[in-house]
Amino acid sequence: MTERGVHLGTVQETLLIPLYGRAVENRKPQPALRDPRAEDIVASIDYDFARFDNLPSLVGTVLRTSLFDRWVADFLTSHPTGTVVEIGVGLNTRHERLDNGQAHWFDLDLPDVIDLRRTFFTDSPRRTMIAASVTDEAWTDAVKSPGPYFFSAEAVLPFLSEAQVRHVVDLIAGRFPGSLLALDTAGPGIIDTQDQHDALGKVEARMQWTCADPAELTMWRPGARILASQRLSALPPRMYDELPAAYREMLAGLAEQRLPQVEEYRLNLVQLP
């Protein structure tokens, strides 16, 4: 098999961490999430994935993706012909896991990522890749499909500055009023210690935006509502109950320890005005 070389920017390289997390998870007898396509992609890329072996945060990336999947699936149940926009899509395979044959999908990321992504995915009448920065207003013109809209920004916005995140939130709310936005936030304890993070410590990218309380987002846009704000140690009961026993035991232990790197990391679903 000929492996595809990887030539990504500093922040863009981080997309390989959750990709590898899903590939590793797929090999387990009792996974929290099935993603055979991720395993195939990892096998096709020339990159030293071994640097991420046995890292606890790989499980965290899988649980984050699983929760975002549930939010998107719930949205598509209510709005089967709606539109899903993956911000900073990386090499995510959410479309492969959740597409219902009716929804429209847009995969947005920087040009170097989309170039890599086109090695493994192709556009279709209902699925379009967009090569642009999320901070560039022009990408919104490419999202030409009926609403309602669900924007998934998984492991993306914390790498921007607060001013940039505000701009992105304003842009989405202004161009797609009433849409849903899923995003993760990191508190100061995480931002200040990310050099020691088990995965980020192995790459050059660093998060910038500190968000101690996701409720701040409702102050940026009057009328915005936080529909959900979950810690990895306190996942929704329905999701928690469906996890393999080993994961439930691990999460129970994390809840007791109340570690800053766990307590300050939130997965949020926001209803924009």
**pLDDT tens across 73-123, in order?**
999 999 999 999 999 999 999 999 999 999 999 999 999 999 999 999 999
pLDDT tens column, 120-159: 999 999 999 999 999 999 999 999 998 999 999 999 999 9
- State yes or no: pLDDT of 258 exceeds 60: yes
Starting at the edge strand found earlier in the chain, the sheet holding 83-87 runs 127-131, 104-109, 83-87, 149-153, 180-186, 265-271, 225-231
| pLDDT value at residue 2 | 58
User: Omega into 56 within 30° of 0, i.e. cis?
Assistant: no
**How many angstroms separate the CA atoms of 223 and 219, rounded?**
8
**How many angstroms separate the CA atoms of 203 and 213, rounded?**
27
| pLDDT value at residue 255 | 87
Q: What is the pTM of this model?
A: 0.96
What pLDDT band is residue 198 in, cutting at 50, 70 and 90? very high
User: What tokens does 20 get?
Assistant: 């590898």
